[in-house]
Amino acid sequence: MGVRVEMPSNNPIVLLRERSGDRYLPIWVGAVEATAIAYAQQGIVPPRPLTHDLLRDVVAALGSEVTEVRITALEDGVFYSMLIFADGTEVSARPSDAIALALRTGSPIRGEEAVLDQAGIELPEEGEEAPSAEEEVEQFREFLDHVSPEDFGQ
């Protein structure tokens, strides 16, 4: 869905939305990673490659590709993820870095069902019809204006 700063703590948060469901997965990230994710979402190309651009280029130069990013676990408030490569190789990565790379490679981002069960949240539906993209963004902003890390427990 996007990156936004959670108030009043000023912590960046990335919110992933279930493609065929109603759950959202909020992941607090660092400021540098939030910027890298936002740049990729907005199509901003910096004059020099960022670390995630470099990693994308290295993977391609080695003849491979990232086929998927998986958010695999949530332990003691810390999310874990894996980069899945074309040959089946799996590499552990911070979710913020994995998401930034996925956006640059067009790779799908998937959350394990257990992670969604543990940390996924549902935004209240306002009606029977599916919300438009603009309505979803507005619901997301409203959610971020009122959410705090304590809302998700351990």
Q: Which CATH number covers residue 117?
A: 3.10.690.10
Q: How high is the pLDDT of residue 45? A: 86
Q: How high is the pLDDT of residue 31? A: 85
Specify whether the CB–CB gap between 107 and 68 falls below 8 A. Answer: yes
pLDDT tier at 152 (50, 70, 90 boundaries)? low
Q: Which residues contact 62 (CB under 8 A, 6 or more apart)?
A: none
Q: pLDDT (tens digit, 9 = 90+) per residue, 54-79? A: 999 999 999 999 999 999 999 998 99
CA dihedral 4, 42, 45, 3 (to 10 degrees): 20
Q: How high is the pLDDT of residue 49? A: 86
Q: How high is the pLDDT of residue 72? A: 96
**Which stretch of 7-11, 17-21, 91-95 has the lowest confidence by average pLDDT?**
7-11
Give me the domain span that covers residue 112.
2-152
Q: pLDDT (tens digit, 9 = 90+) per residue, 97-142? A: 999 999 999 999 999 999 999 998 887 655 545 555 566 666 666 6
Number of structural domains (the chain) is 1
**pLDDT value at 151 more than 70:** no
| Helices marked H in 47-124 | 51-61, 95-105, 113-119
d(CA 146, CA 4): 13
**pLDDT value at 150 more than 70:** no
| Helices marked H in the chain | 31-42, 51-61, 95-105, 113-119, 133-146
- pTM of the entire predicted model: 0.76
φ, ψ dihedrals at 22, nearest 5°? -110, 5
